[in-house]
């Protein structure tokens, strides 16, 4: 059974049973309902209504109650009182509690098939699902998504590999490579790109395999 309550909560219930096949006495009926309550959450796209992510159900509580079929016909309706008290203690709306009780009663009566003294043990798993709705606006996705990175032209990379370094300037001697954030030491390992910024040669070559721009000023390399 699946039940939706507003936009924020839904409930899934499953039923299973073990029967003994024996008759219960009027003094000591052997009819029980075991309620197991869990909680999970679903992240749902508001536009497509698809579940984007879901968490496994976390157990919240369980209880075993007598569920006497004869009590469904005559007061004091103790079976209903037990079930509603347990479910409502987890702040489940009373309307939902009533529907779950009605489903349990229907399942039990169908199982008994007219034999109200049949022994049974019904297990009911109730999963309370918190629904979290998100908007996936394609314009916002495009605006905030990083631009695709395309490497520099092969000719520009080859030219940079052959180019001899012209030496560190005074203001660059205490500087760091902006790619790896390490000090610029050993001029044979350093390279200056056309915009004038200096990097470790191995760092900037790896960078240019992914992006055709300076890491600092974003100036693009020409072919």
Q: Tens digits of per-residue pLDDT, 188-204?
A: 678 888 888 888 888 88
Rg of the Cα trace of the chain?
A: 35
What band does 90 get if pLDDT is binned at 50, 70 and 90?
A: confident
Q: Does 204 reside within a domain?
A: yes
Do 130 and 173 belong together in one domain? no
Together in a domain, 17 and 75: yes
Structural domains in the chain (count): 2
Whether residues 110 and 171 fall in one domain: no
* Residue 139 within a domain: no
Query: Would residue 32 count as lying in a domain?
Result: yes
Please provide the distance, in angstroms rounded to a whole number, between the alpha carbons at the two ends of the chain.
Answer: 65
Phi, psi of 127 (to 5 degrees): -110, 115
> What are the structure tokens assigned to 130, written together?
């918190």
Number of residues assigned to the chain: 223
The span from the CA of 177 to the CA of 74, in Å, is 84
Which DSSP helix (H) or strand (E) runs through 161? helix 154-162
Average pLDDT, the chain: 80
Instruction: Tell which of 107, 134, 161 closes a domain.
Output: 134
Per-residue pLDDT tens digits for 15-74? 988 655 554 455 566 889 999 999 999 888 888 888 888 888 888 899 998 888 888 877
Q: What percentage of the chain has pLDDT greater than the value 90?
A: 14
HSE-up of residue 154 (Cα within 13 Å, Cβ side): 0
Residue 170 lies in a domain: yes
Q: Beta strands 118-134 and 31-45: pairing type?
A: parallel
Q: Residue 199 burial (CB < 10 Å; 0-12/13-18/19+)?
A: buried
Given 134, 160, 189, which residue is the final one in a domain? 134
- Has residue 215 been placed in a domain? no
Per residue in 133-182, pLDDT tens?
887 654 444 444 444 556 788 888 888 888 888 777 777 777 777 777 77
The predicted pLDDT at position 37 comes to: 93
- 74 and 33 in a common domain: yes
Report yes or no on 141 lying in a domain. Answer: no
User: pLDDT (tens digit, 9 = 90+) per residue, 106-143?
Assistant: 998 898 888 888 888 999 999 999 988 887 654 444 44
Q: 100 and 10 in one domain?
A: yes
Segments forming the whole domain that contains residue 153: 149-208
What is the C-alpha separation between 172 and 16, in angstroms, rounded?
75
Residue 176 has what DSSP assignment? B
Q: What CATH number is attached to the domain comprising 182? A: 3.30.40.10
Domain stops at, among 89, 111, 134: 134
The answer to whether residues 42 and 112 belong to one domain is yes
Q: Based on the domain organization, do 98 and 192 belong to the same domain?
A: no
| 41 in any annotated domain | yes
Shared-domain flag, residues 32 and 125: yes
The Cα–Cα gap between 165 and 102 comes to 83
């Amino acid at each position: 059974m699946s039940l939706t309550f507003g936009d924020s909560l839904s409930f899934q219930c499953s039923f299973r049973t073990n029967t003994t096949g024996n008759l219960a006495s009027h003094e000591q009926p052997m009819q029980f309902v075991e309620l197991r309550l869990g909680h999970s959450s679903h992240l749902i796209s508001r536009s497509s209504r698809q579940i984007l992510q879901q968490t496994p159900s976390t157990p919240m509580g369980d209880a075993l109650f007598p569920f006497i079929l004869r009590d469904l016909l005559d007061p004091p309706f103790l079976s209903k009182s037990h079930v509603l008290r347990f479910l409502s203690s987890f702040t489940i709306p009373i309307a939902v509690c009533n529907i779950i009780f009605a489903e349990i009663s229907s399942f039990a009566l169908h199982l008994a098939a007219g034999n109200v003294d049949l022994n049974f043990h019904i297990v009911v798993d109730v999963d309370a699902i918190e629904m979290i709705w998100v908007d996936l606006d394609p314009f916002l996705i495009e605006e905030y998504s990083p631009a695709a990175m395309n490497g520099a032209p092969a000719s520009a990379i080859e030219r940079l590999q052959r180019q001899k370094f012209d030496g560190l300037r005074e203001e660059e001697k205490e500087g760091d490579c902006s790619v790896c954030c390490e000090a610029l030491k050993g001029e044979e390992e350093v390279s200056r790109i056309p915009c004038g910024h200096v990097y470790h040669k191995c760092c900037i070559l790896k960078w240019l395999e992914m992006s055709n721009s300076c890491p600092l000023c974003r100036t693009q390399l020409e072919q």
